[in-house]
Amino acid sequence: MGVRRRVEKRFDEIIVQCVGDGLEMLGSDGKSVVLWLWQTKSGHPNSEIASHIMEFSKLLNETFGMGAVIIESHIAEEIMRVFSLNPDFSDLNSAVQMAKQKFDSERK
């Protein structure tokens, strides 16, 4: 595995951890169900959530309706905390994109 791929894999791992921590608000069973739904409906492993964050957001919205906003907010707050980001983002996708930019810039 090349250096670039290892770096991308590390970013994906951090985002998956943030997602998991954000989903803890649902309890361990709720978190497990969401991650199972992700794998089942999307066909992607959890390790690819960062690469498909819009798809993950759509799944949350389909599953939780208006409650998805609260869940996404918890996940985005966790990403903000882990990456020491300024909270100037409007959604989960923006939080992941900002985290990716910061992660990449710190690797250069």
What's the Cα-to-Cα distance from 108 to each of 64, 83, 102, 103, rounded to whole Å?
Answer: 39, 16, 10, 9
Q: How far apart are CA 47 and CA 50, in angstroms?
A: 7
Chain-centroid distance, C-alpha 30: 16
For the chain, give the percent of residues with pLDDT over 70.
Answer: 93
Domain boundaries, position 7: 3-107
Q: Which residues contact 99 (CB under 8 A, 6 or more apart)?
A: 11, 14, 15, 79, 82, 83, 85
Count of domains forming the chain: 1
What's the whole-model pTM score?
Answer: 0.90
Predicted confidence (pLDDT) per residue in 49-80, tens digit:
999 999 999 999 999 999 999 999 999 999 99
* 3-class SS of residue 48: helix
Residue type, 31: K
Report the CATH number that the domain containing residue 8 is assigned in CATH: 1.10.1200.200
Q: Express the helix, strand and coil content of the chain in percent, nearest 5 each.
A: 85, 0, 15
Residue 6: the pLDDT is 77
Q: Which long-range contacts (CB under 8 A, 24 or more apart) does 41-44 make?
A: none
